[in-house]
């Protein structure tokens, strides 16, 4: 338990809603973060952390009622337990992480709240950092909370972000620019109020700092003002849609390799570094079921090529990123992503990832079924197509959506990777009108393909940009990645 969680636990412990002789904490559907008296601070807690504190309460005669009942263990849990996983706690007692679908009713003597809060601060001082402790990250059981009330986000009950914050990094970058008109212009905006804008898209969420395609990463992107947030969509073994940048990146973006029962299902199991050959593995969403996928923790996309054990392989985060927020990122389905973004009142951009397994998958799950399933989930949820920007690098996917559901297809983005080579760039320019004639309305290349430099060194529109405009195509581009320093 870190200091912030402990402090918030103390706040929660004194903010329970009184109902007769009981104090009531309610959990989010299938998730164990707590809410008390609508006190937002209490949305930032783990149920397992509350239990850790309660289990360590001194049985002092001065607090005869300073206990909770949990099936005979000082806390009563009135619900069905979905998952019960034992682990060593930071207070050196065997505790339980509960994935709940219930309300917790807590009988508490008025003085007990003070005891819980005081104990929580004491535990914080003694607890090791999350990276070194026996947290959910190391044990690999994601109880679908991150200490930020994200059980509400997964359930689509979030409220729009009003207080937009971008942190200090943008100001730092601008101040480090070479003096000139652009720097002066950007600095002139430094004290302007910030607001959510559709000009800003959260690519995999806020993936420079947070594990990509997790609840926490998307929440951070919303806080930073992104009006559109992405879910790269792929599918599991049981054909459920989930958010991952690649169908086969679980070995670098999750902790799957430290779960032998799941790692054994990977299409390429872990091979340690040896005799100059790097460590390797490959684990795909299609290797495991949705339930197995949801048991994983998201981490920063990285691996240690010199690793000799699966645990070592999980490292390798470059020094220009951070593991500060990579405690146990909450993975989600496409439907949960939709509920989250809808609750934030933002817009959607799902990308149909090109499958890395042979299609039709399992003999009868076709590419068309997969791409249709994506729009079916928006239709079933009642999401207006105007809020959805579908994406694909596969032109056939775009053409399928245009034919199958024009309301969604008309603003689907064709991600144009042809520009990655000089020859492909020339082909893309020459075929721009052909794309438009096929019904494509939005094209999405990297920003470098849209710009050129004239003989005087002035930045001007590229041939690609001129051709796209002449063909009547709309352009949505991307600027910065989380791929390292610009050179």
Q: What pLDDT sits at residue 483?
A: 63
- Closest of 223, 231, 239 to residue 332, by C-alpha: 231
CA–CA distances in Å: residue 347 to residues 97, 200, 207, 343: 34, 11, 18, 10
The pair of three-digit structure tokens given for residue 483, joined into one six-digit string:
């791929």
Q: Strand, coil or helix: what is 166?
A: coil
Quote the CA–CA distance of 310 and 320 in Å, as a whole number: 23
Q: What pLDDT sits at residue 157?
A: 54
Category of 301 on φ-ψ map: left (φ > 0), alpha (ψ -120 to 50) or beta: beta
Q: Where are the domains of the chain?
A: 3-127, 198-475
Helices (H) and strands (E) in the chain, counts: 19, 19
Q: What pLDDT sits at residue 131?
A: 29
Give pLDDT tens digits along the chain (487 positions): 333 333 333 333 333 333 333 333 333 333 333 333 333 333 333 344 444 544 444 433 332 233 434 434 433 333 222 222 222 332 222 233 222 222 333 333 333 333 333 223 333 333 332 322 333 333 343 443 333 333 334 444 578 999 999 999 899 999 999 999 999 999 999 999 999 999 999 999 999 999 999 999 999 999 999 999 999 999 999 999 999 999 999 999 999 999 999 999 999 999 999 999 999 999 999 999 999 999 999 999 999 999 999 999 999 999 888 999 999 999 999 999 999 999 999 999 999 999 999 999 999 999 999 999 999 999 999 999 999 999 999 999 999 999 999 999 999 999 999 999 999 999 999 999 999 999 999 999 999 999 999 999 999 999 999 999 999 999 999 876 556 665 5
Distance from the first to the final alpha carbon of the chain: 40
Q: What is the DSSP string of 312-334?
A: HHT----TTS--TT-S-EE--BH
CATH of domain 198-475: 3.20.20.190
Q: What pLDDT sits at residue 320?
A: 86
- Closest of 188, 450, 219 to residue 325, by C-alpha: 219
């Amino acid at each position: 338990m870190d200091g912030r969680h402990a402090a918030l636990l103390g706040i929660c412990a004194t903010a329970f809603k009184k109902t007769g002789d009981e104090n009531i904490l309610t959990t989010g559907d299938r998730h164990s973060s707590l809410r008390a008296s609508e006190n937002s601070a209490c949305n930032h807690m783990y149920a397992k952390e509350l239990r850790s504190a309660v289990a360590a309460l001194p049985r002092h005669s001065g607090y005869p009622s300073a206990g909770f009942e949990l099936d005979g263990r000082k806390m009563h849990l009135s619900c069905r337990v979905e998952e019960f996983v034992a682990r060593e706690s930071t207070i050196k007692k065997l505790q339980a992480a509960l994935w709940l679908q219930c309300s917790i009713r807590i009988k508490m003597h008025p003085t007990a709240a003070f005891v819980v809060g005081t104990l929580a601060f004491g535990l914080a001082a003694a607890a090791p950092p999350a990276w070194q402790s026996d947290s959910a990250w190391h044990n690999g059981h994601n109880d679908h909370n991150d200490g930020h009330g994200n059980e509400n986000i997964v359930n689509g009950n979030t409220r729009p972000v009003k207080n937009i914050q971008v942190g200090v990094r943008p100001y730092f970058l601008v101040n480090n620019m070479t003096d000139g008109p652009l720097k002066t212009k950007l600095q002139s905006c430094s004290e302007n109020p910030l607001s959510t804008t559709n000009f800003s898209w959260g690519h995999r969420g806020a993936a420079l700092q947070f594990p990509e395609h997790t609840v926490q990463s998307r929440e951070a992107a919303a806080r930073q003002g992104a009006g559109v947030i992405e879910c790269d969509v792929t599918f599991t073994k049981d054909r459920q849609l989930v958010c991952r940048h690649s169908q086969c990146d679980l070995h670098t973006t999750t902790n799957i390799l430290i779960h032998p029962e799941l790692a054994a299902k990977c299409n390429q199991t872990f091979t340690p570094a040896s005799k100059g050959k790097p460590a390797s593995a490959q684990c795909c969403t299609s290797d495991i079921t949705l339930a197995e996928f949801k048991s994983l923790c998201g981490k920063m996309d990285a691996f240690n090529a010199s690793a000799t054990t699966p645990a070592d392989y999980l490292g390798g985060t470059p020094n220009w990123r951070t593991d500060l927020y990579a405690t146990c990122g909450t993975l989600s389905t496409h439907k949960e992503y939709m509920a989250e973004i809808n609750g934030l009142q933002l817009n959607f951009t799902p990308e149909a990832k090109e499958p890395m397994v042979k299609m039709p998958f399992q003999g009868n799950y076709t590419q068309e079924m997969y791409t249709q399933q994506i729009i079916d989930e928006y239709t079933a949820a009642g999401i207006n197509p105007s809020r959805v920007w579908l994406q694909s690098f596969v032109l056939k996917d775009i053409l399928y959506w245009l034919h199958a559901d024009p309301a969604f297809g008309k603003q689907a983005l064709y991600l144009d990777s042809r520009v990655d080579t000089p020859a492909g760039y020339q082909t893309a320019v020459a075929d721009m009108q052909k794309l438009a004639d096929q019904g494509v309305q939005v094209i999405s290349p990297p920003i470098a393909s849209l710009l050129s430099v004239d003989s005087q060194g002035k930045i001007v529109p590229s041939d690609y940009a001129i051709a796209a405009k002449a063909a009547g195509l709309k352009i949505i581009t991307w600027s910065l990645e989380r791929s390292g320093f610009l050179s």
